[in-house]
Amino acid sequence: MLRQFRLQQRTELTETTKVLQWLEVTLKPLIPEKVYWQCQVALIEAFTNIVRHAHYNLPSHTPIEIQINLYIHYLEMCVWDWGEPFDLIKYLQSLGPIQSQSLEKEEGRGLYLIHELMDEVEHTRLSQGRNCLVMRKLIEREINPKNH
């Protein structure tokens, strides 16, 4: 692992600004721009889904924890929440091909985007009563033709 970054935010949509600022300062300088934008969209979709769905009946002080692990060839974003258990694979399968044709539909769009933008996505229930969404993205380093 090259670097690790952590952030904890409250369960409020207004916190997305802080998440975006943190991501820009910590991650943007370290990875290719295209990968950064894909990770930014995926992370904000994950964060807003937790606020709107997983934590909808929990107090605003309930923490959402984010950790980014940067490796040589990929990065991993882990997001922990305190919501009910959730079967991501079953949910994505239930969206079917219609979702891929209709991104203007708000329901399910965030998880669909995360699935499409990331190379690997996992959602697991932890023994402490929390969930962890793990999103992995390969980092394709730009090759300078002058070096070859």
The residue written with tokens 């606020």 in the block is 51
Query: Does the reported pTM lie above 0.85?
Result: yes
Q: What is the pLDDT of residues 33-51, one digit of tens each?
A: 999 999 999 999 999 999 9
- CA-CA-CA-CA dihedral for 23, 44, 95, 130, to nearest 10: 90
Domains of the chain: residue spans and CATH: 3-142 (3.30.565.10)
Residue 128, SS3 per DSSP: coil
Residue 109's pLDDT is what? 75
Instruction: List residues bridging with 6 in a β-sheet.
Output: 67
**3-state class percentages of the chain: helix first, strand second, coil last, to nearest 5:** 45, 25, 30
pLDDT under 70 in the chain at which residues?
Answer: 95-108, 141-148
